[in-house]
Amino acid sequence: MNFKDYYKILEVEKNASQDEIKKQFRKLANKYHPDKNQGNTEAENKFKDISEANEVLSDPEKRRKYDNLGSSYNSYRNRGGGNADYDWSQWYDQNQSKRSSGKTVNDFFSSGGSMSDFFEKIFGQNYKNSGFGYEEEVKGDDHNMQIAITMKEAYNGAKRKLRVNGESIEVNVKPGITDGQVIKISGKGHRGRNGGPNGDLLLTFKITEMPELERKGNDLYVNTKIDYLDAILGTELLVDCIAGKFKIKVPEATSQGKSFKLKGQGFPIYNSSGKKGDLYVQLIVELPNKLSEKEKELLTELKKLRKK
């Protein structure tokens, strides 16, 4: 029978704490789990070994016996003794035939096999199932929420306080967020299973529209009304929107639908500090619903002048 170095198999130091052993076992078990290595005999054997090692090192009583056996065996070897000559029987479990959990590592493998001869001789069939019932770490499900914000909040940025899984979370919404954009907050979703990480919180933003304002990408489009006489004679126009207040010089004889571009005065570009799209101001020329007799007279005279 050969001595099995369970510390080496689990890749931990001999003074490793129970928590360190647990974490290392989960790490290796997740790596070599048969479900992830189907058809890989080497990985399956590795999983059996680390499960066996964990069965011993995670149990204080078994670990004490194993450490004492290891100390005795190493001392014997240092005195020149060999593996075949060592008296293993002094460490055999004397009651192994009377104790059995009914569940072994074999239940978790398609290819069968058995516990090592070393384990069964030293520890018998008293399996506590500390490692063999390992279930793979599973990340928790994501938690989805929809957040409604105004166009102005999307422009300036905003804050929202949320209650998720009993925890209060403050979310800072950066300027320039788009309708339908999803922001992920890692680890704030549903709890993981079997020690797996929590899922993520996924926030989908819904931006309410403004009737006088249209956003296309990072550009803004504003419709501004102007009197027909100002369109004819020219004027200086004050435009007031969420991007600020701007003066536009309207030249004479400006036609309906004329558009003015204000570069860099549009919507903030998300995650790009100080950068913005462009602002487009389109003129809507307003005609009077009714003319006075004097207005008709003057316009008629103007019409005559235009025909000369």
| CB 284, CB 228: distance < 8 Å | no
Region of 176 on the Ramachandran plot (φ > 0 left; ψ -120 to 50 alpha; else beta): left
The answer to which of 28-37, 110-119, 176-185, 214-223 has the lowest mean pLDDT is 110-119
Architecture of domain 143-208: Sandwich (2.60)
Domain spans, the chain: 6-123, 143-208, 213-307
Q: Indicate the class that CATH gives domain 213-307.
A: mainly beta
* Alpha carbons 281 and 4: distance in angstroms, whole number: 80
Is the fold of 143-208 the same as that of 213-307?
A: yes
| Helix (H), strand (E) at residue 294 | helix 293-307
Which residue type sits at 111? S
Residues 6 or more apart in contact with residue 168 via CB below 8 angstroms: 161, 162
> pTM higher than 0.85 for the full model?
no
Q: Is the pLDDT of residue 289 over 80?
A: yes
pLDDT single digits (tens) 143-183: 999 999 999 999 999 999 999 988 999 999 999 999 999 99
pLDDT at 224 over 90: yes
Task: State pLDDT tens for residues 251-272.
Answer: 999 999 999 999 999 999 999 9
Is the pLDDT reported for residue 218 higher than 70?
A: yes
Confidence band of 241 (pLDDT split at 50, 70, 90): very high
Q: What is the pLDDT of residues 120-129, one digit of tens each?
A: 888 876 555 4
CATH number of 6-123: 1.10.287.110
What's the pLDDT tens digit per position in 29-81?
889 888 888 889 999 899 989 989 998 999 999 999 999 998 998 888 888 88
Residues in the chain: 308
Per-residue burial over 225-249, b = 16 or more CB atoms within 10 Å of its CB, e = otherwise: ebeeebbeeebebebebbbeebeee
Cα–Cα distance, 66 to 118 (Å, whole number): 11
Query: Token digits for 40?
Result: 């890989």
DSSP state of 96: G
CA angle at residue 217 from 212 to 265, to 5 degrees?
65
Say what the pLDDT of residue 306 is.
80
